[in-house]
Structure 1
Amino acid sequence: MSLKQTLKKAKQIERHLEQRAESGAQHSLGAVKARNYLALNPLLKKGGIHEKEDIDIVRKKRRRETKQQLRKTDWLSE
């Protein structure tokens, strides 16, 4: 693509964006989406038995327990 074609394409895109701005396009990139505050209600969140445990925390806890057991083991007497 030559420089002349690139500049022509850039001007077309610029004109298109200006037309969209003038026509009052509501779905622009800067539009703020309204929040659904009902979805943030704590009664609607998961909890108790249905709450997922973080796998990394479980692995870390199991690893720590294993290390403590290995430290307690008397390796010289065996």
Structure 2
Amino acid sequence: MSLKQTLKKAKQIERQLVQQQAVGTEPSHGAVKPRNYLALDPLLRKGGIHEKEDIDIVRKKRRRETKQQLRRTDWLSE
């Protein structure tokens, strides 16, 4: 869904809510809230260099590689 279509859908939903309020019909408690399609747009998501890197995973991976390398070395021959 393009940004233009998303904005169009959001305005359409807003108009429906305004019409419901003008008529006096309020949505019941069991009614589902209209989805915010603009929040789901891929252009508004994080990505690339802005995405958070998990440093703990990198540290664990380096530590495991170091331990494996130390286990492989032959300490008796040195």
TM-score between both structures, scaled by the size of structure 2: 0.47
Which of these two proteins has the greater Rg computed from alpha carbons? 1
Q: TM-score with structure 1 length normalisation?
A: 0.47
Which fold has the larger relative contact order, with Cα–Cα distance below 8 Å and residues 6 or more apart in sequence?
Answer: 2
